[in-house]
Structure 1
Amino acid sequence: MSDRPEPSWLRAVRRPQVVDVALAGLVLLGVSLQFLLPERENDDALTLLGFLFGAATAVPLVWRRRHPYLSGCAVGFATTAMTLHHSPPPDVVYGGFVVLYTVAAIGRRWPRRLMLLVWLTGAVLSMSLKENAEPFEYAFHLTSLLGAYGLGRLARIQRAYTAAVEERARRLAYESEMEAARAVARERARIARDMHDILAHAVSLMVVQAEAGPVVVRSDPARAEAAFDAIAGAGRDAMSQLRRLLGVLREEREGEPDGPERSPQPSIAGIARLVEQVRAAGLKVELLRTGEPAGLPADVEVAAYRVVQEALTNTVKHAGATRAAVQLDWGERELRVTVRDDGRSRREARVRGAGQGLIGIRERAAACGGTAATGPGPDGGFWVIVTLPVESAQRVG
């Protein structure tokens, strides 16, 4: 398909005003031909008055779009005058065809029906009183008028259908844009949650170890060395996860069909290593499992890991706890993830300090079709309980 712009002369020719003027000229030519080229010797020849009557059936068509009924009445009066003036009257009422097509295409229901009835009645009276027409001539003339009206109705239906299709296309385009915007917003929220979880967890562990390191550097060099190793490990782990997260955002470059190298997304299998990291920071954490493990969707795997990561980060930062437990309870239809600690800090301060993290936990659970509950435990401390759906059809032995 050519992308060249349409010539200016072609755009001018397609203008409605130009089309209507050309149509009026064609109607005048058609009306005049019968009298310029008579079939029988006794037929009327074209006279000046006859030409003016013919012109009166054509000129009003120039305004047929803006004033369809007024143009129709003017053409009807001129056609009646021409019928009374000529003997025999015109064989074909070209102006009537155009008028009926126009009112059927753009007119209101009852006015256009009334105009059709008037033209049909006028045609019958003209053929009966002036022409003494044969029966087949009645059928021809009446069918021609009804055909012009029917074509106008078809044009109206086609125009309405086209408008409906265009409106539907615009609505679909708008909905597509809105869905794309919602997808971008969801992805931005997911990335923000991931970055918060990664950085908050790593920085919390590094801060705890950095504070403990100088205290024991002289009295317990081995413990100090372990603290510094934990800081380095937490930093490397955070850098690895951030590199993977940012790699998702990076567009694939030309010549690099596989894109940047990325390690797998964190999964439920990584929770054990996560517990070891927190345990190295000085918090006694145990990992408990009950039930039969089952297959999980990828997003649920990531959500379970991030929930435990955020809950343990909050425990390290805000709880003042000495012990914590991570429990994975596998059921037939759901996985329940529970993180509890024995912290004794004020609930208000803890919720205030970990508010964004708790919101992220709830959002992650909801995004996977699960639920989340947080609050003080029955024996003190703080509990995070998240329920996530399990693909029971993928049970593993």
Structure 2
Amino acid sequence: MTSVVVPDHPWLLPGALTPAARVIRRTPRDWLVDTAAFLLSLSWVLMSFGDSVSPDPEFALNAGPSWLNEVDLVAGVGLTAALWLRRRWPVGLALASLPLALFSVTSAVALVIILCTVVVHRPLPVAGALAAFHLLSVPIYTMIRPDPALPFLASAILTVVLIGALLAWALFVRARRQLVLSLRDRADRAEAEQQLRVAQARQLERTRIAREMHDVLAHRISLLSLHAGALEFRPDAPADEVARAAGVIRASAHAALQDLREVIGVLRAETGDGETATPERPQPTLADVPALVAESRAAGMRVGVEDLVVEPGTVPAAVARSAYRIVQEGLTNARKHAPGALVSVGLAGGPGEGLAVEIRNPWPVGEDPGAPIPGAGTGLVGVAERVSLAGGRLEHGRDARGDFRLAAWLPWPAA
């Protein structure tokens, strides 16, 4: 298949790529346009040559010497065939065909097509210079190939107006393509920025989870160090004490490995001077959900809670923290997007079954909630990352009843 240059493609601008990267294959649209241009130019060649050799002077088009008409025919056919190369070398083809603008009738359509290609796809200074030559050559062309039906001045003015109109159309096509490219580039940048914000939100949430685990891991490892040190300095301790210490070490090591497995690959952020950031205070758990609900009610929200958790005291710390954050995000979203609506919070589950968390509120209708509370729009991204790291599932969106529903399931292993 024939290759063409990228700048001639409908949505690319001149100079967008290096010369080595400009060659692409013709699209079906390119083949259709090039075929139409070739057939149009060839039709004009046949029609204009027939008119130029007409024996009736009244109908002869730009009559001239017979040998000039024969040369004109060869030039018109050759330039029409060369239209298939206009996408690769539009400027070179336009420069090579400049002499034909002085006398050729049959080449008129092909010359205009080549000139419009240069205007659309090449820098304006180059296109302007070629267009100026064509306009300045009109008087010479009119003298060599006079129109028997029009006086010299009228024929020259009509030709200039026709060429100017076609060039104006080419400039419009160029401007439209530049606009389309600009809008496409803007959309690509907006999509890239959105993806960057999502990636940043995920990284921040991973960092936050790692900080939350700091105190837990420090506690586990400190127990390991303490009991291992006791065994080192008291090798003659009673067997039951050694067994208890070994049991504590085994349990602490197992718990620490579980915690590390949850945050594997999560890196802690560092401050600008390279020092590790100060650990955050211990994070809330499932036991702090009532206080969170009470705080929301004090702020004017209507919140209903259904707590069906079995043995809530045995919920793993990481799962409890994640559940608290999910409830917190659900209440925050309801406060932002459905102020005054009744929010339902549901907690259910038990050891071996998993912990289910659901926040539901009616979809706002009818009333204008006023100025929305500003937000980054990445809260659900952080919740999804947290649930994913915990090995759970998350669903959010409008359900069959028309309510907004945020539901998560978190694994809760049996004791």
Instruction: Using structure 1 for the length normalisation, give the TM-score.
Output: 0.42
Greater fraction of residues in helix:
1
Instruction: From the CA coordinates, give the structure whose radius of gyration is larger.
Output: 1
